[in-house]
Amino acid sequence: MDWSKLVLFVTAIELLGKKQFCVWLFFLQTLESRTIKKTIFVAQISIMETTDMPTDDTSNSGYLDDAFEGLGRTFTDITIFRQSEFNVVARAKRYGRWWLLKGLRPELAGQMAYRQWLRKEMELMVGLQHPAIVSTAGMEQVDGLGECIVMEYVEGKTLRQMLDEGSTTRAQRRKMASDLLEAVEYLHAMGIVHRDLKPQNVMVTANGLHVKLVDFGLADSDSHTLLKQPAGTPKYMSPEQKKKAVADVRNDIYSLGVILGQMDLGGTYGPLIKRCLLPANRRYQNLAEMRRDFLRCELRPRMAAACLMALGLLLLLGMMGQLAWQLRKQRDVARQQEHQLMVQDKTMERQQKRVASLEQEAAGAKEQQDEQLRTIATLADSLARITVSNKQMRERQETEGARRKAVEKLKKDAEEMLRRAYQKVGEGRIDKVDPQRKIGIFFSVTIEEEKQRFLNRIRPEVNDSEYMEISVYIGNYCEQLANMNWGELGFCNDNK
């Protein structure tokens, strides 16, 4: 195409206008030039775009519908698809994805033992982060189901269903078994024993055949004190698990032996499976040891094939002369070096795993030690505050006792002062005609003056409440003296 002519046509549209340009276009269409016809076709398209289509480019990209299904905070599309003796399992949608909800049956939801059982399962699962273990978001109150554990929904089938269908190859089953061992090893490293390992509790995803370990309803750890009785599925329980309530990692190893036996992994895995089913003291003591033998079983057929190939090459090279023998020797040396490197790599890998496990244990011990130190510091601080509070209380009690003694002494002084004033009034001032009346008037004036003088004197020494207490006491004592008979004090008769 001649692009210069296209530019010419577009320019003609702008200068001549649409009508005049169409006349010119009709004239050009009569020409037989193929290039010109192609150019005219492009020009016609340009005319359509400039006349019929909108020219603004201000619209933004986005969804045509404003409705976003399943993005709310509440669970929707709740579907119960399995009920057991104790639990109800449902699927629900929230935030645009599917979730698995596990709760109690309605008749058990109000019983504390089953609620503690459900909460214990959530507490064990919520801290687990492993690709082969179903993840847990927490526990929530769900309408229609009550309190439920919220977990990721795994789209797939159980390992039991996969084995019954026979739709997997031996290589795929070996990969599943390896992932399952890795998940259980991580579980034991976190201090948790599953206690109910069986093909029904192992999910296999539809996309990629990845393993997901589920159902921790019977799991246990040393940090929990509830529901310590023996538990599990009889077919997959070790003999000691049926009798003892203490969770042991070797219980899971026995269950894994039963599961691996059902997976038909091949004859090379027979000794490993048999050792898993031995008594506890002769069984694998941990998953690391078991996984090491499992990897050896995977490598054994390959090593056998390599040995056969090496033997054939040696026989073939033996038929060739001295030169072939030298070449064979060099290849043998290279194979030995490769094997040594392989062994070194495996050893280094095990050492790295061991170091990682020790670092994790050290971190846990350090965290526990820090928690103990924080607890001790809190107790020490509380003890210091209690000691200061007791000291302040004793000081207040001593101060109050001293003030009470001072107040009582002032009361005694007031009594003594009033008695002396009373006697002073009675001496030589008794009217023989009506001594009781005269001395009573004089007494009232004199006693009141003495009382006021005494109160003024002690006012700076006491507070308001003590001052009021002493004043009331003096008033009451004055009333007692006023009501007493003059002869009771023994000085009225003397004046007569």
Average pLDDT over all residues of the chain: 80
CB 486 within 8 A of CB 439: yes
Lowest mean pLDDT among 197-201, 255-259, 362-366, 482-486: 482-486
| pLDDT band, residue 442 (cuts 50/70/90) | low
Q: Which one is predicted more confidently, 283 or 434?
A: 283
| pLDDT score recorded for residue 99 | 95
The span from the CA of 380 to the CA of 377, in Å, is 5
- For the chain, give the percent of residues with pLDDT over 70: 77
Span 134-189, pLDDT tens digits:
999 999 999 989 999 999 999 999 999 999 999 899 999 999 999 999 999 999 99
Mean pLDDT of 310-333: 83
Could you give the count of Cα atoms lying within 13 Å of 342 in the half-sphere of its Cβ? 10
Q: Assign 383 a pLDDT band (cuts: 50, 70, 90).
A: very high
pLDDT of residue 407: 85
Better-scored residue on pLDDT, 148 or 469: 148
- Among the residues of 319-434, which ranges form H helices? 322-426
How many Å from the N-terminal Cα to the C-terminal Cα in the chain? 159
Average pLDDT over residues 90-117: 92
Q: Return the SS3 of 353.
A: helix
What lies within 8 Å, CB to CB, of 318 at 6+ separation is: 324, 325, 328
Comparing 447 with 68, the larger pLDDT belongs to: 447
Contact 482, 436 (CB under 8 A): no
* Whether residue 350 has pLDDT greater than 70: yes
Is pLDDT larger for residue 163 or for residue 307? 163
> What is the mean predicted confidence (pLDDT) over 443-453?
76
DSSP letters for 408-422: HHHHHHHHHHHHHHH
DSSP three-state, residue 32: coil
Q: Is the pLDDT of residue 222 over 90?
A: no
pLDDT at 190 exceeding the cut of 80: yes
Q: Which structure tokens are listed for 155?
A: 């789209």
Q: Are 25 and 39 in contact (CB under 8 A)?
A: no
Phi, psi (deg, nearest 5) at residue 104: -100, 155
Query: Using CA atoms, how far apart are residues 229 and 237, in angstroms rounded to an integer?
Result: 14
Q: Kindly indicate the confidence band of residue 22, based on its pLDDT and cuts at 50, 70 and 90.
A: very low
Statement: residue 380 has pLDDT above 50 = yes
Q: Please provide the size of the chain in residues.
A: 496
pLDDT band at 221 (very low <50, low <70, confident <90, very high): confident
Q: Show contacts of 328-332: CB within 8 Å, 24+ apart.
A: none
231 three-state secondary structure: coil
Task: Evaluate if pTM is beyond 0.75.
Answer: no
Average pLDDT over residues 355-384: 91
The predicted pLDDT at position 303 comes to 80
Q: Is the pLDDT of residue 308 over 90?
A: no
CA 108/CA 87 separation, integer angstroms = 9
Tokens encoding 410: 């002032």
> Which pLDDT does position 160 carry in this prediction?
95
Predicted pLDDT of residue 104? 94
What is the predicted pLDDT for the residue at 298? 83
304-332 average pLDDT score: 83
Q: Among 246, 239, 244, 245, which Cα is nearest to 277's?
A: 239
Q: What is the pLDDT of residues 33-66, one digit of tens each?
A: 444 444 444 444 444 444 444 445 455 655 444 4
